[in-house]
Amino acid sequence: MAAALACEVTPSLGRLVCCHRAEVTVTLSRVNVHFALAELPLAIRVAGLDRDPGWIPVSGRSVGFHFT
């Protein structure tokens, strides 16, 4: 993660990537995560970590990110 974000590994790295205000909806086949684009750190967007993961076979679900 640190390499993708071009930063050092720090205790706050996980918070930078994972702690965001979002609405999550889950069905048997899909997980949708809705974020406010203006609140997403630019480093995450530049690293491409805001792209839809899509189908994740081990979870049996497709994951999609949606921005407002």
pLDDT tens digits, residue range 11-25? Answer: 667 677 777 888 999
Mean pLDDT value across the chain: 84
Range of the domain at 37: 2-67
Predicted pLDDT of residue 47:
80
Give backbone dihedrals phi and psi of 14, rounded to 5 degrees, phi first.
-60, -40
Total number of domains in the chain: 1
Predicted pLDDT of residue 31:
95
Per-residue pLDDT averaged across 1-11, rounded? 65
Dist CA 44 CA 32 (whole Å): 18
Distance of CA 60 to the CA centre of its chain: 18
Dist CA 58 CA 44 (whole Å): 24
Predicted pLDDT of residue 6:
62
**Global confidence as pTM:** 0.71
